[in-house]
Structure 1
């Protein structure tokens, strides 16, 4: 109730400049008209408060100024000033001061600061892009005070007409070449000059630049940077594509809306040579084409099975022949033909051959065996050919239903003969080893042997182990890393621990010689890095780490190479000790901001500092500069070292 009475008293006394509880403004800001560059000072005084919170307002916004002063005029009587050392047009506006008391705000009378000076440009003419001899308009606007303000136009260094009131629109009938222009705004205080604009004549765009192709799995994306636009916005780009084999085949050109300046190329054949070029179009027309970019699409599994699989059976050997695949069917570089065979309903060990023929010694053991063949690239193996049953030439297998019984009898007879032959020769032949001769019958009997490569999995091609020789790095680096090369099969990658600009760090398990597993961290280079230079730079860092022997510097465990199915170069993987507590930066954040904060003693923090210093000192003695010392690059092991 008392609060309500207090508010009513304030409203009744407000016309006398008296605030409730005796709070009143004894001085109000006054209107000021100043020339640009002069100093301005507004004053305001309030009485009735012990320590009033007085602040200044301009055009409804609170002013935050370090120049505000407070002066004590007497007990509960305060005066404040707002000063502007050199007023400009942006300082012009309405000012007043306010004071807060008992959650209420009281305002002084309002005053204006008016800044007189040279005209203030509020709209300057902008650049124009146009066709030759096409009319266009230019606009210029300026304000005082003092008023009036007049505008004078200059086009190509020549005055256009007489001064006219602001704002001014200049109508230009058209130009046939590039020309400069600006406007002048004038009042009694002086002249202001606008920015200099340019009339550009629209022309054909320049050819695109930095054309490049990116291949991820079977997706091929063409991207480019637009050249000079010709002072007109690019609307579309034209992509021309041709396939190069024995002859050059030009494919239908594609029109692409831009931006973005890229196009996903679809319907391309695997392991084929292509050329691409791009032209871009604006209002005037199409640019010249950029130079042809030549690229080869990734390999794929063959699309067809080898045809015309035939056999020639004798007592000494079985000869198999089949037709090779065409280039468009192979879809890659042929690694081998895979021959799969079954005997007695059981699948036998598959065989690999470089040529489209095979000679297998000991022909008798292949009676009643079924053979199929498939072509294999580095990506995998294609479909199987129809099965072919190996029978002696004298045996005919009728297909008419009325003579099915003949086939059954012959089948039983052949099975019996095969069983006897297998029993007779079983003790004389040796089991094929993984990489050795197939059969070695004793005696002078001639035989044909071959070396089997590693078998293929049709669905997921098994890749050969990568070596340092496949990377194209220099001999010194290769020799230095040879003794720390870890076969990829000994590593089992786990979840990702961190990710950076050049790759990621993953948890992994390394299988040791005693078949036990060691938990490690694996630094994996980004998969889209395809140059030997980038790979060599990564391995140089590993080579340096190989020679580190210090408690506070991580030592290299080894280097491994991850073979990629569709890429020429494998991805280097640097194997390092696993750090239980991760990087120092994250560890410190978790100690304060994690779900379960914990205290770190001063002794522990000093220990971190000493460990870092010792590690850096060691690197310095080896003439190595770190260049990126940060908490994120310091790792903590299980001993908090």
Structure 2
């Protein structure tokens, strides 16, 4: 073990002393900060078990007036066998091409020498580190490693492999993961890469002709990889295609994969039926029209829809399987207007031109009358032209004329108007369906959300359920694949978003929820994108199950403050806590840190089951067991653990702290934690050892569970699995808890602690033989001595800081009723709320 220390004095205010190692700030709980006296502070940094990676240069820094003031440096050096800083790596090369390998190792002690082994054979002799081996070329795979030695001994590096580059293997798992009317998304996995990075892939496609039934090759597409996914557009709806892929590295092309067949989705017909004609008699009206070409149909013909109007009033539409309609009672269709459209399962296409039904005699009469009117109009036109010519000749010098009386026809003008009952235009400017590619988010997030994207047209938004700083939650109805309708809740980001980063932050929450499958964790239904007119970016919408009873915090408040208060049994409250603990245990098993656990972020479904929700601050941890908040953001300080407030470090144990606060909210029926304490005062309140007080009517055993979640040492807090077991026992039993043992508040240090405890127990042993265990508060079983030191502060330092650094020292078993009194200390004992305080 190594302990480093530095001190500073003379400053007017308490400084922020930072430990540095090799130019980087140290983030560790193995640091202690002590105020010795006014304007004098000291800090220590401990390395409990020095390893090779602990070697380096250490110093302290204090920022003063914008400048960093540094202490004298100290070095930790670790002597031993050589430590490799650069080992032989795997190499891929063409046959006979030379290449270099590098191996480097360091002490102390120095010097360090390196020896190479190639294919099991020693190459040369020891050379100083670092060493470069030049290989003139190989024709097959071979193994290589190096040895390093110094005065302490010998180390052997990892074994690298020299691969020979070859042609890659055929791609695998070629899948059409998304099919739309005119485009698809193609996904595949690379085969054997040939020990060389793949550069591009060639996609070959062919289309099955609907008329001849033969495959027609389409132009090849060359795509850069990775990613091994591409969206192919410009396809024809309701058509059969085949696709295969090959990939290339710097050696050559792979073989093609097997053909994969797919069919694009249907669409509404693209054109209107043509040549609509009728044959009218007194008994029957027959309408015929030309059927659509296969290319214009857009899918499988479902029926022809006919609409007609009579006297300006729309009549009931009719459906016909064939391109012919026979309607009885032809006389009733005089002066009726007909239109027809083709329909597929997706919808109906544009309407044909309207046709007016009239008897043939009427049509002949109209033709004759038309000829007569044409003759009259021509004669009138000639007379007008002659009159105009004479007028110009007589009044050629005049500038004022009375042409108005000449052109004004006798009587009132007749105007012809009509009103379109319904119009259909396939070319109208509709907002296109938004895709994930239009958001500008990163490819990993797009891949995670692609299979949960729901078209906006399937959503019908209802009234607002709630509104917050980043958006709103609305009630909605979602049309399912079987045409049923499901009631859902939709989280809608504010419409004033302007950047892709805002959208990406919102959709990350959905990405976390995508893989959640647990009854106590809210399940993601999907993600939809609302396209806005004249806006580049759509508004993301996260679709969640509808929670009938809303959030847990509001439900608890309504139980005592609502218009119709109701009583919640203790068993129900414990069940709420159990549901939250089970959901959080599931999240921790998925390496998810919630960071915002509170009653307001837990939802109640129709079965009164609590689901953990609102993962806006959640983080996925891929390595290690902690997450460090990088930037300042709005955080719920009254639910945040002590170490998170101090260092912005978040772990599963900090979620346990928040769970304890949530338990307090449940037992307090929705009260705000730390009543009377401001957010800015929380850290000082907790660092003094203060915690949330026991809620009214809360049993001691329940309060002890939540109190255990607030240990200042994160690893001393219970796990969620342990919390589940404790709460299950309470839920099953619900029997009165035994009276709580008195607690002793002692301000002791060092060896005096054992003496005082021996006096307090009348000389009784405190070891396992006596059946009792005494220790600091929240102290874990099996803690090492250095970890215990973290909890204890010397009495001199405590007085200098001026804070209340009393720590609970109490028995962890029930003492015999015949135990002797605390002789010699009784005169200094005073009782406060069942706690015994000993002033020593």
Question: Normalising by the residue count of structure 2, what TM-score does the alignment of the two structures yield?
Answer: 0.43
In 2, distance between residues paired with 1:58 and 1:118? 23
In 2, distance between residues paired with 1:309 and 1:105? 88
Change (3 A) 1:366 1:633: same
Unaligned runs of 5+ in 1: 1-38, 410-455, 461-490, 499-503, 511-519, 527-540, 546-572, 592-597, 618-625
In 2, distance between residues paired with 1:381 and 1:232? 52
In 2, distance between residues paired with 1:575 and 1:140? 57
Aligned to 2:507: none
Q: 1:95·1:112 contact (CA, 8 Å) conserved in 2?
A: yes
As a proportion of its length, which structure holds more strand? 1
In 1, distance between residues paired with 2:46 and 2:490? 61
Q: 1:586·1:632 contact (CA, 8 Å) conserved in 2?
A: no
Change (3 A) 1:231 1:505: farther
Return the match for 1:382 from 349, 369, 372: 349
Partner secondary structure for residue 328 of structure 1: helix
Aligned to 1:611: 572
Partner secondary structure for residue 290 of structure 1: coil
Aligned to 2:447: none
Q: In the TM superposition, what whole-angstrom CA distance separates every residue of 1:231-273 from its partner, at most 9, and x where no partner exists? A: 2222222222222232222211211122332222222111222
Return the match for 2:371 from 404, 422, 425: 404
Q: In the TM superposition, what whole-angstrom CA distance separates every residue of 1:602-626 from its partner, at most 9, and x where no partner exists? A: xx99937533567999xxxxxxxx9
Partner secondary structure for residue 219 of structure 2: strand
Q: In the TM superposition, what whole-angstrom CA distance separates every residue of 1:158-212 from its partner, at most 9, and x where no partner exists? A: 1112221211111111122222111111122211111111112222333132522
In 1, distance between residues paired with 2:62 and 2:334? 110
In 1, distance between residues paired with 2:606 and 2:250? 61
Aligned to 2:551: 583
Aligned to 2:323: 356
Between 1:52-61 and 1:180-189, the stretch displaced more is 52-61
Q: In the TM superposition, what whole-angstrom CA distance separates every residue of 1:489-518 from its partner, at most 9, and x where no partner exists? A: xx97515769xxxxx9962699xxxxxxxx
Q: What is the CA-CA distance between 1:89 and the residue it aligns to?
A: 4.0
Aligned to 2:265: 298
Is 2:205 the partner of 1:241?
yes
Is 2:175 the partner of 1:208?
no
Aligned to 1:507: 475
Is 2:240 the partner of 1:273?
yes
Q: What is the CA-CA distance between 1:218 and the residue it aligns to?
A: 5.0
Is 2:102 the partner of 1:139?
yes
Q: 2:240·2:263 contact (CA, 8 Å) conserved in 1?
A: yes
Q: What is the CA-CA distance between 1:366 and the residue it aligns to?
A: 2.4
Q: What is the total number of aligned residue pairs between the two structures?
A: 441
Partner secondary structure for residue 238 of structure 2: coil
Question: Normalising by the residue count of structure 1, what TM-score does the alignment of the two structures yield?
Answer: 0.55
In 1, distance between residues paired with 2:69 and 2:217? 81
Change (3 A) 1:370 1:232: same
Change (3 A) 1:236 1:524: farther
In 2, distance between residues paired with 1:345 and 1:97? 91
Change (3 A) 1:340 1:183: same
Change (3 A) 1:69 1:284: same
Partner secondary structure for residue 405 of structure 1: helix
As a proportion of its length, which structure holds more helix? 2
In 1, distance between residues paired with 2:337 and 2:31? 99
Change (3 A) 1:291 1:613: farther
Partner secondary structure for residue 364 of structure 1: helix
In 2, distance between residues paired with 1:380 and 1:78? 78
Q: What is the CA-CA distance between 1:214 and the residue it aligns to?
A: 0.8
**What does 1:461-500 correspond to in 2, within 5 Å?**
493-495=461-463
Partner secondary structure for residue 610 of structure 1: helix
Q: What is the CA-CA distance between 1:219 and the residue it aligns to?
A: 4.5
Larger Rg: 1
Q: What is the CA-CA distance between 1:379 and the residue it aligns to?
A: 2.4
In 1, distance between residues paired with 2:8 and 2:273? 102
Aligned to 2:487: 522
